A and B are shown apart, each in its own frame.
Chain A
Amino acid sequence: MALLSKKDSRLILDPLADNNPITIQVLGICSALAITAELKASIVMALSVVFVLGLGNVVISLMRNIIPSKIRIIVQLVVVATLVIIVDQVLKAFAYELSKTLSVFIGLIITNCIIMGRFEAFALANGPWKSFLDGIGNSAGYGLILVIIGFFRELLGSGTLLGIKVLGDPIEKTGLYAIGYENNGFMLLSPMALIVVGIIIWVQRSRNKALIEEN
């Protein structure tokens, strides 16, 4: 971090924990829940958001003095939509199976509240370099939670990580399965994503009491 001043590195590090977009700011939940049944999909989604938010913040920040404030929402939506189309087309070309799994949720990055939230709260008021760092930081914080959820759901739900059978083979009864372990298929269903996020919030807030909300 010698490259960055102390203030700049805070822009990246804060959203990773104490100001995390998902667990503290409550932004961008939709996609976080729907695509995390597999670790691979979570990682790709996280990278897509890093790309879109990092670049989008720079573009908006460069244009911040020429956007009339009345139509800024539409300008922001157009910028995001363009970046998301790029991501979508790249995925369709190089990872077709994966883009089938992610289905409409790549498109839904457009309306991911993290993106609009950071544009409004940061990029419209700060220079391009700072906005870039802020974008990377926030999307990394988002990605971190996504990867944690994806890790637990795939491990407990299907006993694999990135498609590799880490717990042994459930059919041939090797590894953990030899002593009677069973996969919890329930983890793959959508409601468990919500409960996993709830548990992450619980753990985080019991470690840092300052984050506890009033009822």
Chain B
Amino acid sequence: MLEHVELFFKSIFIDNMVFATFLGMCSYLAVSKKVTTAVGLGAAVIFVLAVTVPLNWLLDQYLLRNGALAWLGPEYADYDLSFLSFILFIATIATMVQLVEIVVEKFSPALYNSLGIFLPLIAVNCAILGGSLFMQSRDIQSLGLAFNYGLSSGIGWFLAILAIAAIREKIRYSNVPAPLRGLGITFIITGLMAIGFMSFGGMLTGGDEAPAEVEKNTVQKTEEVKTIKETDGNSVSYNNAIINE
């Protein structure tokens, strides 16, 4: 239970999609001129992320990752299909977006009217594919956590676009230097908001998260170096260089 709460707040505030990893910036900048449209797109992103991340988690777990095909029988146990993940993830996302559009149109015309135009846009929103790819690279452990990750990343994105839309509605009345108007000032404000969000960094672990991560990375690195050394005796000097780093 605790890990769910931790992941939830971490994805919303610390690893916020817009402010920490810059995912979905294109639609974030293009659709944030009015609060109402921003709310529509934000809701659509939450919805699609919460559906596609768990689906892609299942795909990753039972089809793509190294040894994932073991459930077919022992002779399939050493297949590694992870190079196919881009194409499968994007296909899942595009299909799901189409499906969601059809279902929503059929059962809830009111919701369709408010989300409708945004849904096709979402298939090519980097936040959606990014959510699935980060889910894969961060090694999310269970289906429930994957759902949680999708949902909370979506909420984080929603918060970000809502905030910038509200600011942009107000900034229309300010005297911004002419060359900065529109896009330029939006970039700079987003930068300042991102600095603000960085202060959430110490929220969960009291600030010692970063060193732990560094340690983990170095451990991984040395392991990699070892494997290279075992397989190839000629590249020892190159390996030493990596260790010294």
B24 within 8 A of A: yes
Residues of B within 8 A of A17 (CB): none
By the criterion CB–CB under 8 Å, are A111 and B128 in contact?
yes
By the criterion CB–CB under 8 Å, are B181 and A214 in contact?
yes
Partner of B185, one of A103, A112, A198, A206: A198
By the criterion CB–CB under 8 Å, are A215 and B172 in contact?
yes
For B95, give the chain A residue with the smallest CB separation. Answer: A74
Partner of A194, one of B87, B194, B242: B194
Most buried by B among A30, A81, A97, A103: A30
Partner of B26, one of A23, A30, A212: A30
By the criterion CB–CB under 8 Å, are B191 and A85 in contact?
no
Looking at the assembled complex, report how far the CB atom of B181 sits from the nearest CB atom of chain A, in whole angstroms: 5
Taking A29-B22, A88-B83, A110-B90 as contacts, is the C-beta distance between A201 and B172 under 8 angstroms? no
How many residues of chain A get a CB closer than 8 Å to chain B's CBs?
Answer: 50
By the criterion CB–CB under 8 Å, are A107 and B86 in contact?
yes
B84-113 contacts to A, CB under 8 A, are: 84-87, 90-91, 94
A181 within 8 A of B: no
A23-73 contacts to B, CB under 8 A, are: 23, 26-31, 33-34, 73
- Secondary structure type dominating chain B contacts: helix
A82 within 8 A of B: yes
By the criterion CB–CB under 8 Å, are B25 and A205 in contact?
no
Looking at the assembled complex, report how far the CB atom of A18 sits from the nearest CB atom of chain B, in whole angstroms: 14
> Could you mark each residue 184-201 of chain B with 1 if its beta carbon is under 8 Å from any beta carbon of chain A, else 0?
110110111011001000
A78 within 8 A of B: yes
Task: Please list the residues of chain A having a beta carbon within 8 angstroms of any beta carbon in chain B.
Answer: 23, 26-31, 33-34, 73-74, 77-78, 81-82, 84-85, 88-89, 96-97, 103-104, 107-108, 110-113, 116, 189-195, 197-198, 201-206, 209, 212-215
